[in-house]
Structure 1
Amino acid sequence: MKPFRSAVAALALFVSVPAFAQALTAEESQQIDTLVTTTLADTGVPSASVAIVRGGKIVFTKAWGKQSLDIAQARTDVPYQIASISKQFTAAALLLLEDQGKLTLDDPVSKYVPGITQGDHITIRQLLSHTSGLQDYWPQDYSFAAMEHPVTPQQIVDRWAKKPLDFPPGTQWQYSNTGYVVAGMIVEKVSGTKLLDFLKAHIFSKLDMHPINQDLAIGKGYPVGYHRYALGPVRPEKPAAPGWLYAAGELAMTASDLAKWDIARIDRTVLPADDWAAQETAILLTNGKDTGYGLGVDVGEKNGHAYVEHSGEAVGFLSENIVFPKDKAAVVVFVNSDFSNAFLTITQGIVKTAFPAIANAAADTDETVKTAEARKVYDQLVTGTLDRTLMTEDANYYFTDEAQKDYQTSLSALGEPVSFEPRGSPKLRGGFVYRGYTVTYPDRKLSVSTYAEPGENGRYEQFLVAPMS
């Protein structure tokens, strides 16, 4: 489950202006409607649901497109799977349990969950800040073979949290869904209740929020998640079997529900003010380096304006939530697809309309060799000659005959790219190295998202192509 750690760079580290309490003007609303409608049409993403907070109030909610075949008109009361945005709620639960004197964030995880590699040296705080060293069980942007079968938190721990650590605790930052599974188990053991029940009692009921377990947000009345191989047909995506999201991303909710949580963050309600501050304080590594990540949220500042951000990816869904607490502003965007950058394009456009936005970050390392390697694989997909020895077992599972056909058919029709360029800097994730690329054609741009094994000859765990708007 990708959190789109690179989303902050892609969103250009938005800068907000002094908040206005009034609702959006007719012109602003029309600009946003045009933005979303055009983006959905350009990318093939079926639907979007949006909420905007200005002046500490929800001033705009709207849904567009096809949420499912049985939902005739897109509705704002339909819950979308928000995946990793859920992590901040798991972190909040542990902060509340600390307030109750039932644990401290600096307790070793072995005190609550036995058998974890170096559990005596990993703290709860390190689980929440992705500095534990536990290997991520889901770095891919697709569901791998095991996800066809139900799983329990303990089974995830047994398979991934008992491996050798990727690094000594506290020495590096690396996104880890595994760490949040352990965190959820601690919440349940200490509180004596299910994680979702704890959140309902202490947060959701107080904010009139009505999230549900995303494993239940499937079927009639719920949005269908969609997938696409490169520029091939947009198809309904098979949901993961129950249990895979859990405390790392188990929630489904409406955009307005998440906006209520954003307002609580702005107003410092529900949680004590020091809990909000703790969640929004970037964790430092043992060498003093700032991770840019607090407890379940990306945090930072641009031109004096603080932001709190997280994105999420479930099977068939992408979501983005960015808050400017001091400016009393927030944007929530949900889409029912796990392809394309539409959710970021919509967020970016909304912030440009309702608040100002500022420039993209650029890659700061020499990526010539790796870019050439990625271009070679891209060309193989175009010509239908994929060298499977360059792929891991999971990547070969993903590239079915149907997938390869869609890739070849849709990409070969575009002709020769004008350019193939790196986007952002490489990042470590789940034992793999993430790299993104932009492929430019005369009339369109495509996004390439890759994960590869470390080292000069590392195989690709993921090589996904999607439209950009």
Structure 2
Amino acid sequence: MKNLLTKRISSLILFLFLFQVSFSQKIEKQIDSLLSTVYNDSNGPGGVFLVSKKGETIYRKATGKSNIELDVDMTPENVFQIGSMTKQFTAIAIMMLQEEGKLNVSDTISKYLQDYPNGNSITIHHLLTHTSGIKDFTKMKLIMSIAKSDLKPKALIDFFKNEPSDFLSGEKFKYNNSGYTLLGYIIELVSNQDYKSFIEEQIFNKIGMNHSYYASDSKIIKNRAYGYHGGKAYKNKFDVSFTIPYASGALMSTVDDMLLWQQAINNNILISQETKEIVFMNHSLNDGTKINYGYGWHLKEINSVKTREHGGSIFGFKSMAVYVPDLDIYVVGFSNCDCNSPTVLVREIASVIIKDNEKNK
């Protein structure tokens, strides 16, 4: 009787194992098929994609070339510029400083920049939520005149601060890189560290993001993916001084490090649960209208399931990540050509995982 029971248990374990293998292979094929619709040139720029469910990596693949000229294949370990995904780190840095009592999101920016126009009516909260009304400097006609210039944060702020406001603070939501530039400078003022040092020491080092950096084209970075522009023929990316994207878009990372980042957020390593709830709250305009943005993340839905997501775009690179908090699903994708946005792909992959989760309840 005991032997029969043992055999049945063994058979059940084997069945569950084979079912899990079959399930994993099915998911892998579905994701491979999605990627092949965009990344169909094995000799061109490529991308890296990672999917995690409940802390376990269930998909991690690279496609295409990390360097076309040297004919180097992409690997999952490649380091990419992540563009506006940088805003997540800037927002969390601000909230870390709030928890330390060094600032408050209700502070007006005139507390830190006394000469900023209308600074008494614009708060840190407005900067975090893209509701400040400040002109986005990346949309200014003269932006290319400073693109290669190494500017101090204050000089970059001076470039746009006297531009007319798009609207009164709190009246509308309008995505805005200038606001996150101001946040980076405020981080420097209250922490007595430059933005690069604060992010690398207080965040990257603290949670083991050992392959993440403030971007540099001169520093030797192991496993760097080189950036390209598309069109009739691929071209090397346009060079830009990383003092320009700064706190709105100047970081580099890997998909594995980004998973560490997501796990640090989940486990309240950097900020408390109470603060985290504020970060991921649908904040409101002056008239009470809710916006689909927290602090550094878009708050959306896929298949009626709530998501936290953000993409990034910078010369030669595009990035995207989606987190599904109710299911603990994380999907992140990087591309080393700004001709191939991973945004739709990452959301489609997340949709596949969500649907399979529903089927297997």
TM-score normalised according to structure 2 size: 0.84
Q: Which runs of 5+ in 2 are unaligned?
A: 1-19, 357-361
Residue of structure 1 in register with 2:230 after alignment: 228
Q: Aligned residue pairs: how many?
A: 332
Change beyond 3 A, Cα 1:98–1:26: same
The structure whose Rg is larger is 2
Q: Are residue 76 (structure 1) and residue 76 (structure 2) matched?
A: yes
Q: Distance in 1 between matches of 2:177 and 2:133?
A: 11
Residue of structure 1 in register with 2:165 after alignment: 165
1:304 Cα deviation from its structure 2 partner: 5.7
Q: Distance in 2 between matches of 1:23 and 1:326?
A: 24
Change beyond 3 A, Cα 1:100–1:38: same
Q: Which runs of 5+ in 1 are unaligned?
A: 1-20, 358-469
Look up the SS of the partner of 1:147 in the other structure. coil
Assess if the C-alpha contact under 8 Å between 1:24 and 1:59 holds in 2. no
1:265 Cα deviation from its structure 2 partner: 2.9
Assess if the C-alpha contact under 8 Å between 1:24 and 1:60 holds in 2. no
1:237 Cα deviation from its structure 2 partner: 1.5
Q: Are residue 50 (structure 1) and residue 60 (structure 2) matched?
A: no
1:139 Cα deviation from its structure 2 partner: 3.7
1:219 Cα deviation from its structure 2 partner: 7.0
> Whose strand proportion is higher, 1 or 2?
1
Residue of structure 2 in register with 1:33 after alignment: 32
Question: Where do residues 14-413 of structure 1 align in structure 2 (5 Å cutoff)?
Answer: 25-41=24-40, 46-68=45-67, 69-70=69-70, 72-139=72-139, 144-210=144-210, 211-216=212-217, 221-229=223-231, 232-301=232-301, 305-341=305-341, 343-356=342-355
1:75 Cα deviation from its structure 2 partner: 1.6
Residue of structure 1 in register with 2:9 after alignment: none
Assess if the C-alpha contact under 8 Å between 2:42 and 2:63 holds in 1. no
Give the aligned residue type for 2:147.
M
Look up the SS of the partner of 1:138 in the other structure. helix
Change beyond 3 A, Cα 1:123–1:262: same
Change beyond 3 A, Cα 1:217–1:307: farther
Assess if the C-alpha contact under 8 Å between 1:53 and 1:59 holds in 2. yes
Q: Distance in 2 between matches of 1:23 and 1:120?
A: 60
Point out the more displaced range, 267-276 or 35-44: 35-44
Look up the SS of the partner of 1:339 in the other structure. coil
Look up the SS of the partner of 2:38 in the other structure. helix
Change beyond 3 A, Cα 1:35–1:294: same
1:340 Cα deviation from its structure 2 partner: 4.0
Change beyond 3 A, Cα 1:125–1:48: same
Q: Distance in 2 between matches of 1:179 and 1:45?
A: 35
Give the aligned residue type for 2:240.
A
Assess if the C-alpha contact under 8 Å between 2:303 and 2:351 holds in 1. no
Give the aligned residue type for 2:319.
S
Q: Distance in 1 between matches of 2:58 and 2:350?
A: 14
Percent of aligned pairs with the same residue? 27
TM-score normalised according to structure 1 size: 0.66
Give the aligned residue type for 1:48.
G
1:59 Cα deviation from its structure 2 partner: 2.7
Q: Distance in 1 between matches of 2:197 and 2:22?
A: 34
Assess if the C-alpha contact under 8 Å between 1:117 and 1:163 holds in 2. no
